[in-house]
Amino acid sequence: MSHNFGDNSEDLWNEFGNPKTPWDRKVDILANLAQLEAHQGHWSQEIKYLQNAIELAITHDLIVQRDKHLNILSARAMHGAGNYLLAVEAADQLISYYPEFPTEIRLFEEVGTAYTHKARALVELRRFAEALYAFKVALEFAQLINDKPETAHSNLGIMRCLIELNEPENAKAHGMAARSLYQENRQLFSVCETDRLFARIHILEGNYVKAKNILKEVRVLEQHQWHMSHPETKLYLGVAYYHLGQLDRAEGLLEKVMDQNIKPWQTEFNWALVAADFLVEVLKGQEKFAEAERIALTRKALASRIPGAEASDEDEYVQDEIDALIKAGKSDVAEVASMEWLDKINNEGDIAKRWKAISKAIKAFWEQKKYSEIADFWDQLPHQSLDYQDEVVIRIKNLVTHALQKVGRLEEAFELNREVREDSRIATDSIEQVYAKENAARVLKDLKRTKEANSFKEEAMREYIKMGFNERAISLMDYFKKKK
């Protein structure tokens, strides 16, 4: 599809209104109009035209254009309008058209790109567990078509997510793969980004001198090439100095990060928030208590006024509170808190957050052995959107499978368990993997499929014992001793 910035919008509209203009050309015209609006910085109008182009392509079964413009919408929602939720939604819409692994070469690129856009938007939303899975799928597609740039970008994305999820050891191999490709292709900016992330790993591992040395080198290169250093470079160099006790140097760098990232033209404030957290500690370490209090107040003021930050902090607090109640054996109170949170979210219309609340409620029911309540709750839920909730889908399906088995709905339990075991996302959680095997063993035993049941039982027990979950292994063994 070509985009001609010289096209006059009036001429385009005249061509669009001509009854002889074919539908595929009309879709292109709307996309051209979107480009013209983007060229003038009219992001909302750009998005509107792209959505109209997609709707027209869907109406007239123009599949290639539908897929292409969904990816364009996802990218532009993210990079133009800064609407990360819309970026995820557009990517998910494209992905939903291909529930089975695609076989056409064209689709390797289109679906892979959709997963890439989804992953990057999820990183911006700080939903790193979901982003990790999306980056891994994007990596598979990139490798299938030997797309080296996307292979590098996906590995880098995986590295970042694993660091944010506190899995630095697993992040290293992906970082090395990304760095090798970037260096081979003279992508200096991306090599620097990879090295910044390696420095963060060194900080997590307590190797502050090595982190400092890497970040100083990266900063020199960034300043030479772009006349300024990246906020992340300054931030974690300041953090390294803080851990090394060089508080004056840490203070100067962290203040710069705050000052440069609280500006009228800024839309990403996370660097400033993280810098403020460390700067407060740096100032306290120098007994500058009044300044520390001022920075803490600035951080609080910023966090409560940027989009989604206050709600995000509140949601994290609610989730932590529910988890603490369950851990303390107060699952009945956790149940009430979960349902209250769910009621609140239902009014907001946030689907991803709604499934998180549902996950907490089901867990609270499960801890109280309220299996009938879980089954009834499951029956009332619309299941279509669950498969797009990468962070909670496996956990919810495992708990529901167990509940369905307990209430004797064995065929449904078996089918749900099969979905879990065949879902590639289970590979990221070893505990849920074993739980799925335990569920398979229990369901198959009740279905009188003894040989298969024993196989899953032995696997689950062996892995539970290896992980130190002896009580779960014994419980499963006792279940198999019962005659049923």
Type of residue numbered 287: E
In contact, 277 and 258? CB cutoff 8 Å: no
Tokens (6 digits) for 242: 């803080």
For residue 1, is pLDDT > 60? Answer: no
pLDDT, tens digit, for every residue of 159-176? 999 998 878 899 999 999
Share of the chain above pLDDT 70, in %: 94
Higher pLDDT, 458 or 430: 458
State how far the Cα of 57 lies from the Cα of 46, in Å rounded to an integer.
17
Check pLDDT > 90 for residue 307.
no
pLDDT tens digits, 177-187: 999 999 999 99
Q: What is the mean pLDDT of residues 143-168?
A: 93
Per-residue pLDDT band at 384 (split at 50, 70, 90)? low
Name the residue with tokens 């557009």.
90
Q: Higher model confidence: residue 81 or residue 297?
A: 297
Pull the structure tokens for residue 381: 């839920």
Q: Give start-end residues of each CATH 1.25.40.10 domain in the chain.
A: 187-306
Q: Which of 205, 276, 260, 170 minimizes the C-alpha distance to 214? A: 205
Task: List pLDDT tens digits, range 454-483.
Answer: 999 999 999 999 888 888 899 999 999 886
**CA quadruple 115, 303, 46, 52: dihedral sign:** positive
What CATH number belongs to 187-306?
1.25.40.10
pLDDT, tens digit (0-9, with 9 covering 90-100), for 213-264? 999 999 999 999 888 899 999 999 999 999 999 999 999 999 999 998 887 7
* Residue 330: how many other CB atoms lie within 10 Å: 16
CA distance to 154, 222, 294, per residue, from 230 (Å): 21, 7, 25
Alpha helices, DSSP H, located in 80-147: 84-96, 105-124, 128-144
pLDDT of residue 7: 53
Q: Which 8-state DSSP code applies to residue 101?
A: P
Question: Which pLDDT does position 267 carry in this prediction?
Answer: 62
Percent of the chain surpassing pLDDT 90: 66
Q: What angle do CA 22, 25, 26 make, to 5 degrees?
A: 85
Distance CA 413, CA 415 (A): 6
In this prediction, residue 131 carries a pLDDT of 92
